[in-house]
C-alpha cells in the first residue's frame, strides 16, 4: 500500500515538473499594445483627395483620387540595441478609410524603445501563400496574380499634363521577386525613448505623398501608368520609402 502511494506521488511529481519545465521562460513578461496614428500629408498640408490640386517637382498640376498601401513586418529596437520582432500583422492603409490609418500592434513586450521598423508592402512569403483573408484578401483589389503578387502601394488621380483622353494616372507598384522587387523596409527613430509598461502607447506619424515624385523625378509626361513590376515601379518605390516621419510619441 505504501509502495503504491509512493509510486503515485512520484508519477504526479514527474507530470507537474514536466509541465513547469515546458513553461516558456518569458511567460512572466508583461505585454501591451502600441498604436500608430498616420496622417497623410502633401508637403506641409493634410492630403485632400479629388478637390485640391497639387504640383509635382517637374511643374505638373494633378489631383489624387485614391491612395493606399500595405504595412507589415513590424519590429522595435530597444535602448539596449536589441531588435524585438512583433507578431506577424498586415495592414492596408487607405486614405478614404479613417479607421485604416489607426494601426494597433499587440503583444509588445514591456521595455524602452528607440526606433520602429516596418515593411512597405507584403513580404514574398505571403505573396505565394495562396488565397488569404482580411487585409490580404484578393477582394481588396490590391492583388494582381499569383505570379506578380500584391500591389504594395497605389496612387491614382488626374493631371492635365497627361495626353490621354481621361488624363488619368495609375501608379500601382508591385513586384516581390528580386529582379523587380519593390519591397522597402523603413526604420524610424523616436524623438525620445518610448516606454512600454503595460499601458497603451501611441506613435503619431505622417506620410508625405509628395515624396512619391522625388528625388528620382517622376513626370506624368514620361510615365502615367504603372500596372506591372518593372523599372518604373522600382523608381517610385525608391521614392516613397522616404515618405514616413514620426512627429510625436505618447507613453
Segment 41-63, tens digit of pLDDT: 999 999 999 999 999 999 999 99
pLDDT at residue 68 is higher than 70: yes
Residue 62 near residue 158, CB atoms below 8 Å: yes
Q: Model confidence over 118-164: pLDDT tens digits?
A: 999 999 999 988 778 999 999 999 999 877 899 999 999 999 999 99
* Measured distance CA(99)–CA(24) in Å, rounded: 35
User: Considering the entire predicted model, what is its pTM?
Assistant: 0.86
Amino acid at each position: 500500500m505504501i509502495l503504491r502511494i509512493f509510486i503515485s506521488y512520484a508519477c504526479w511529481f514527474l507530470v507537474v515538473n514536466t509541465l513547469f519545465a515546458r513553461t516558456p521562460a518569458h511567460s512572466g513578461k508583461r505585454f501591451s499594445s502600441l498604436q500608430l496614428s498616420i496622417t497623410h500629408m502633401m508637403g506641409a498640408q493634410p492630403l485632400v483627395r479629388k478637390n485640391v490640386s497639387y504640383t509635382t517637382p517637374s511643374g505638373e498640376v494633378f489631383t489624387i483620387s485614391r491612395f493606399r498601401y500595405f504595412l507589415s513586418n513590424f519590429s522595435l529596437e530597444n535602448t539596449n540595441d536589441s531588435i524585438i520582432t512583433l507578431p506577424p500583422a498586415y495592414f492596408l492603409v487607405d486614405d478614404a478609410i479613417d479607421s485604416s490609418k489607426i494601426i494597433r500592434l499587440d503583444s509588445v513586450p514591456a521595455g524602452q524603445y528607440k526606433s520602429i521598423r516596418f515593411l512597405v508592402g507584403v513580404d514574398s512569403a505571403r505573396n505565394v501563400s495562396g488565397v488569404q483573408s482580411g487585409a490580404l484578401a484578393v477582394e481588396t483589389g490590391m492583388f494582381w496574380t499569383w505570379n506578380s503578387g500584391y500591389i504594395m502601394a497605389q496612387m491614382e488621380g488626374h493631371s492635365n499634363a497627361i495626353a490621354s483622353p481621361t488624363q488619368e494616372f495609375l501608379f500601382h507598384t508591385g513586384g516581390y521577386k528580386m529582379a523587380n522587387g519593390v519591397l522597402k523596409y523603413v526604420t524610424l527613430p523616436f524623438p525620445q525613448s518610448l516606454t512600454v509598461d503595460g499601458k497603451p502607447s501611441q506613435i503619431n506619424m505622417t506620410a508625405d505623398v509628395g515624396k512619391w515624385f522625388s528625388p528620382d523625378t517622376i513626370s506624368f509626361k514620361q510615365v502615367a501608368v504603372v500596372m506591372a513590376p518593372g523599372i518604373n515601379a522600382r523608381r517610385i518605390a525608391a521614392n516613397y520609402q522616404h515618405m514616413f516621419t514620426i512627429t510625436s510619441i505618447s507613453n
